[in-house]
Structure 1
Amino acid sequence: MAALSNELQIAVEHHQAGRLAEADSLYRRVLEIEPNNADALHLRGVLAYQQARNEDAVGSIEKAIRAGGPHPAVLNDLGKAYFALKQYREAKRCFARALSLDPDHAEALGNFGAVLALTGELREARSRLRRAVALQPRYPNAWFNLGAVLRRLHEPEEAEQSCRRALALDPRMADAHLELGNVLADLGKPEQAEGCYRKAIELDSTLAPAHARLAEMLKMTLRLEEAEASYRAALALQPSAATFQALGGVLYELDRPLEAREAFRRALEVDPELVEARWSLAVLRVIELDDAGRTEDAAAELERLSAWLDSHRIDDPSRAVGAMYPFDLAYRERNHRPLLERYGGLCAGLMERWRKKERLRPARPAGTQPIRVGVVSSHVHEHSVWNAIVKGWVEHMDRGRFELSLFHLGIRQDAETDYARSRAAHFEAGARPLRRWVDAISERRPDVLIYPEIGMDLTSARLACLRLAPLQLAAWGHPLTTGLPTVDAYLSAELFEPPGAGEHYRERLIALPNLGCCYEPYRVEALDLDPAEPGIEPGAPLLLCPGAPFKYAPGHDDV
């Protein structure tokens, strides 16, 4: 038996040195002589786990437990193999049993926390992971998993600290750089988030989520060609429906609708029930038909979409709303009210299904003085919506008559965001799920909600479909009727609207004097320009078109 013990010790030395083939050969030799040697069975199972032979690992470690009884370390290793096989119930059973034998087993606590997070038991996961890092502060995986859980529990500041602790212990942990990027994006720090995603890719170029999240940051900062490249890199590694859907959105913004359509179709090939892709394909077709003047066919396309939605069970009805918005219709000079009323009805219907599923209570306005006004926008930062519309309200709203709450849905923040925060009675910002935004707005009990730019942001479109205040208004950040039955009036301007313009709006049109806003011009210095330098013929008339090219309808190309 001494010789057998010596052979097992040599096998362990090979194993620890990374000579796995030699170690496995010796473990097998030990087991040929003593088939129920618990140590050899356990360690051979660990070796199989390290080689991603997880079914073999489970079989060998379970034999070890039958031969030698349950020990915390052995149960922990068995749980890891079940975890790798995605058999989460069995993994939890193993970790729980290990902890019943040794409540202070830090690795089992960390692994239990990780599997609890995957099964959605976030608060229990947080408790286990906090205990793990308290017992073993130099445990990078536990710090990383704790950061990921805290982010999902909407505790971004502590999540950031946890991710940074993980990276201080293991700077080459690509997943931790990715998760830190996600946290920083939630905290409104897109530039820092971008740096984290790039570092994650540098460390592990096969990490598809890092490419996809980098693409989101690039899209947000309007670097659309770079965003396209990053989405395609993610798809080359992991062809997910969500990434095909996101790529389609970028291609549409790049004015490549045929390629966008193909991306949406690819999304449906991967996941035929992806409601966002189904919605986007239909809306893309509606825009094309409307462009061609085929308004009846466009309406029929919406009816087909409605029939599909009615015939399918949708786990999250909110996902479709705003996935693609018929934004371009604002730049086609006709009355779009009938079409957008149908579109708005679809949006509101889906959000009503979501409201019932979430068991939301009806809005409860404060009904006291001063009147509570909420402004919901994704552009409370340097942006045309802020500069032209919202900033004037923030500067000049009578604080004696109105209490102003600002809900900044976007993740970009700058000096203008700080100014807005300083002027509002209540200010909320940062990435959060739809339900948390609903709760944040409802807690303020607004009498009036104003949406300055419905159609330019997913979350604002979804929120506007709900009745969160007795009076809900839209403004001309997107210059077209919302078509929503939940929006009561539309704030426009006398100088924008021709006679009879009210017929173009589902909402009651309120045309404010002049341009309807208080606007502070940009402070810029004029430059002397020599027309000959860019190759312009001296004396030739110049026509300046400062808008984006897609805003000029093809029907006016002869101009």
Structure 2
Amino acid sequence: MTDQIISPDVELATFHCQLGSQFLESGRLAAAESEYQKAIAICPGLTNAYLGYGALLLLQNQPQQAINTYEKALEYTSTPEILSALGLAWLALGNEPQGYYYLGLSASYSCDYQTAINYYNQYLANCQEYESSINLEVKVNLANCYQRLNQYNYAAAIYRGLIDEFPQVVELYVNLILSLSEIGEIAEAITMATVAVNNFPDQIYLKFAKLRLLPIIYNTTAEIFASRQGFAKDLNAIIEETSIFDNATLQAVGEGTNFYLQYQGDEQLFKGGLSEKNLQRQYGNFLHRVMVAHYPQWREAPPPRRRAKSDKIRVGYICSFLQWHTVGNLFLGWVKNSDRQKFQVYCYYTGQEADQITDLYQQYSEGFYHIYNNIEQVSQQIYSDRLDILVFLELGMCPQTLQIAGLKLAPIYCATWGHPATTGLPTIDYFISAELLEPAHAETYYNEHLICLPNLGIYLDQPSFPPLEKSRSDWQISAHDIIYLSCQSLFKYLPQYDDIYGKIAQRVHQSKFVFISHWYQEVTAKFQKRLYAAFDKLGLSGEDYCLFLPRLNYAEYLQLQSLADVGLDTFQFTGFATTLDAIAANLPLVTHEGTIMRSRQSAGILRRLGVTETIAYSESEYIEIAVKLGLDHETRTAIKQKIKNRRFRLYNDLKCIEGLEEFYQTCVPVK
């Protein structure tokens, strides 16, 4: 590590500051004051000198002079320590509102949001005589603290009140829309976004915010269709009315993705202009035009390298989730098992936090770059590395990765099913999927050229499953209940399938359906209300049959898989990682095989095992399989044993690696 070079001025000022602190501790106040003043004169930005001098002035009962000192420091730096000292000085002067204001700022700067909330509320309780602009700032800060603590309902209440008081402040609308969308209050968010777009027609960000307001939980299929229509209408308006050269447009496309569009159900529901393929292509073309308008140097792909037979193919993998995450875990095998005699592997990690999975990606790469929140730096690095192929492990979850994919930094671009949807980007040449996951004629759902690798397309190490340490009583589940575990994210559950659980319960009287709550209780409550209404229609009480557990850590979640009797998969967007976990626990899983890849993931895994008895092709068949597994202990036990005997087929599968590398070699022929 290179030693930090300290300038002589800073070093001398620090000496005087330290000397002043020694004099202060020994009670030599005049000498301490002289040393602090020397330190400030030499280096006006030395925070500790102001802190020491201010403390001395407070000791001398001169709070106003201390305030002046701290405010002078704020001209150079706004550290939590200076802000806290200034707050205490105002309190010493008897001005409580000002004191609480600065103490709140200090706490929020230190990420102690609950303490900041307490101080801001104390300020608001005592600030009647202060001007409204200061109150606005404090209330916005207060709402931001609630957002940081994921208490979006409190933040939304504050923003509603502020909009009534300050209707011309555009940031209030933006923050209210964000808060409402996080807790699933999409109808109100859309109403507010519509008002905001009408009030501020030149604010591009608001138009994109409205575009992305797709419900987390739908109440009816009609609502799904209306949402899709609204998205298509807003997207067309943005494309027609928005300048691709405006910096605000570049910023807006980097603020989010169309993530929830893929959770609206089977593509057979939507035809023509409403199809996912069409909408993704429209958005992808627009995003590409925006990106190359701002980065014209990366409009065209670099020319392919002239590769001799002995030259290794350079393959790059880029992702924001090269960490303990579904995407990072599933695709690690591609990098780990790469043939080093034929390929040079580069990885570009654009996420923020690193962990042991990140370390493994770095270990298995010839070149590894961790660059967070800097599109230009990542793009320049990729371009400089002269890759032959760049593979995006997911496109659709991280906006910055999507922006980079809108440029052309390597001759060949590939996307994978890390996010299982066509990207729609004209820059993406191939979409890499797997034979067991795709239906016949699957290419019709993709804008890219579809490549299907053997089997499941990924290499998995055999997991070590923890011993069972918890019991049903830990989750208040009776030993006599038949546990149907359905542990998907709640936005995967579509309203047209809610009655399935009640129909199973009608025949399996001791059934208990276990779900995992959403991050926000407000979203969970919406799903519960909808699900319980389906039970009511069948003359049953949803509360008697359903259990919603809080978010679990991974070890607890695996314990739950071991305790369950039957797994119930979601329709139209099945599990994959969760299905692998169920298989590791020998849990029989009922799944419905749909018409597109993301509705066939679990079926593909079961086909790889040769355990097809629990794959259904209709709702009624799904119910029959679930009922039989619940009532027939012998059948359930036999399938558990079959899974246990065959699950080895999922692991250490080098055929997919061979298929992947054969594809790469076809893409980059020797010249």
TM-score bucket of the superposed structures, by smaller chain: 0.5 to 0.7
C-alpha distance in 2 between matches for 1:506 and 1:515: 21
Instruction: Give the C-alpha shift of residue 272 in structure 1.
Output: 3.4
- Matched with 2:650 is none
Q: Structure 1 CA distance, aligned partners of 2:487 and 2:389?
A: 34
Question: Hey, what's the Cα distance between the residues in 2 that align with 1:370 and 1:142?
Answer: 58
Cα distance in structure 2, aligned partners of 1:211 and 1:522: 45
Q: 1:291 aligns with which of 196, 200, 224?
A: 224
Partner of 1:360: 297
Bigger relative CO (Cα 8 Å, ≥ 6 apart): 2
Q: Partner of 1:139 in structure 2? A: 46
1:465 and 2:403 matched: no
Please say if residues 379 and 408 of structure 1, whose CA atoms lie closer than 8 Å, have aligned partners that are also in contact: yes
Secondary structure of residue in 1 paired with 2:433: strand
Q: Does 1:273 align with 2:273?
A: no
Relative to 1, partners in 2 of residues 1:260 and 1:427: Cα closer, same or farther, differing over 3 Å? farther
From 411, 416, 428, the equivalent of 1:475 is 416
> What is the letter of the counterpart of residue 184 of structure 2?
D
In the alignment, the residues of structure 2 paired with residue 491 and residue 250 of structure 1 have an alpha-carbon distance, to the nearest angstrom, of 36
Tell me the residue number matched to 1:377: 319
Distance in 1 between the 2:284 and 2:153 partners? 28
Partner of 2:259: 327
* Alpha-carbon contact 2:242-2:249 (below 8 Å) kept: no
Q: Deviations over 1:38-96 (max 9, x none)?
A: xxxxxxxxxxxxxxxxxxxxxxxxxxxxxxxxxxxxxxxxxxxxxxxxxxxxxxxxxxx
Cα distance per residue 1:144-174 (max 9 Å; x no partner): xxxxxxxxxxxxxxxxxxx999667776479
User: Shift in Å at residue 403 of structure 1?
Assistant: 2.3
Question: Does the CA contact (< 8 Å) of 1:317 and 1:350 recur in 2?
Answer: no
Q: Which of these residues, 300, 303, 308, is aligned with residue 241 of structure 2?
A: 308
CA distance in 2 between partners of 1:470 and 1:503 (Å): 24
Q: Counterpart of 2:403 in structure 1: which amino acid?
A: R
Q: Deviations over 1:193-225 (max 9, x none)?
A: 745x6777777775678667766765xxxxx4x
Match of 2:334 in 1: 393
> Where do residues 15-26 of structure 1 align in structure 2 (5 Å cutoff)?
none
Moved more, 257-266 or 496-505: 257-266
Q: Distance in 1 between matches of 2:393 and 2:86?
A: 42
**In the alignment, is the contact (CA less than 8 A) between 1:493 and 1:512 conserved in 2?**
yes
Q: TM-score, normalised by structure 2?
A: 0.49
Distance, in Å, in 2 between the alignment partners of 1:141 and 1:235 is 41
Aligned equivalents of 1:236 and 1:244: distance in 2?
A: 11
Q: What is the match of residue 486 of structure 2?
A: 545
Q: 1:211 to 1:393 in 2, by over 3 A?
A: farther
3-state SS of paired residue (2:373): coil
Is 276-285 or 336-345 further displaced after alignment?
336-345
How many angstroms apart in 2 are the aligned matches of 1:212 and 1:198? Answer: 11
1:516 corresponds, among 445, 457, 466, to 457
Contact 1:285/1:301, CA 8 A, preserved across alignment: no
Distance verdict in 2 for CA 1:329–1:357, change over 3 Å = closer
Identical counterparts, % of pairs: 26
CA displacement at 1:386 relative to structure 2: 0.9
Which residue of structure 2 lines up, in the alignment, with residue 252 of structure 1? Answer: 181
Change (3 A) 1:539 1:171: closer
The residue aligned with 2:380 is 439
Q: 2: CA distance between counterparts of 1:386 and 1:341?
A: 29
Q: Secondary structure at the match of 1:550?
A: helix
Q: When the two structures are aligned, how many residues end up with a matched partner?
A: 393
The farther-off stretch of 444-453 and 168-177 is 168-177
Tell me, yes or no, if structure 1 residue 486 matches structure 2 residue 407.
no
Amino acid at match of 2:241: W
> In the alignment, what sits opposite 1:554?
495
TM-score (ref. length: structure 1): 0.58
* Contact 2:472/2:479, CA 8 A, preserved across alignment: yes
1:345 aligns with 2:282: yes
Q: Distance in 2 between matches of 1:290 and 1:494?
A: 34
Name the counterpart of 1:74.
Answer: none
Q: Distance in 1 between matches of 2:81 and 2:418?
A: 44
Shift of 1:278: 0.6
Letter paired with 1:386? G
| Partner SS state of residue 413, structure 2 | strand
Matched residue, 1:402? 343
Report the CA distance between 1:558 and its aligned residue. 1.9
Are the aligned partners of 1:466 and 1:486 in contact in 2 as well (CA < 8 Å)? yes
Quote the RMSD (CA, aligned, Å): 4.4
Q: What is the alpha-carbon distance in structure 2 between the residues aligned to residue 230 and residue 438 of structure 1?
A: 36
What CA distance in whole angstroms lies between the structure 1 residues aligned with 2:85 and 2:328?
40
CA–CA distance in structure 1, aligned partners of residues 466 and 343 of structure 2:
37
